Amino acid sequence: MSAADTNYMEIQAVKVSDNFYTIIYISYLRVDFVSKMLKITVNRKNNIVEQLFFSSNSFGTATWTNDSGIVDAHRWETEDTAQNLSFLAKHYPTLLLNGAVGSDYACNEIIPDVLNALESDNLRNEIGSIVEHNRFDIHFDPLDYDIFVDKLPHE
């Protein structure tokens, strides 16, 4: 079953560099339209989560970094907002440049929406705990979540 056939995200790619690896989970609303995405960037030397990127088609995007917690969060513009700005009859919503939202919105709307699309309760709870408690020293072993980094196709 592909990510397009389910509400759950699946691993779509693993990017490996000298210092980091990034695991990318995605679910699709339809072909070529991402519903939810989670990018987990882990330091290869110490297995510490360095960055998390959350994208929800319903609420927006949020970025958590190891040294600062939630550093960036934006909501999607609504159709009404877009029409008021452009006077077009139809508009495709985008991230608002002035749509920055606080960490409360990210933690209450964006992040839970994305985490609920993870099939693994263990991974959902671990990522949620990292964000909620700003746990900067969590050792993230992909094998704990049946993620075999060395066996996956790398980009």
pLDDT digits (tens, 9 = 90+) for 13-53: 888 888 998 999 999 988 888 999 999 999 989 999 999 99
| pTM for the model | 0.82
- Domain tally, the chain: 1
Q: Is residue 102 part of a domain?
A: yes
Q: Is 65 exposed, middle or buried (0-12, 13-18, 19+ CB in 10 A)?
A: middle
Q: Is 97 exposed, middle or buried (0-12, 13-18, 19+ CB in 10 A)?
A: exposed
* Structural domain harbouring 52: 3-150
Q: Is residue 155 part of a domain?
A: no
pLDDT digits (tens, 9 = 90+) for 57-95: 999 999 999 989 999 998 876 656 555 555 554 545 555
Q: Is residue 10 part of a domain?
A: yes
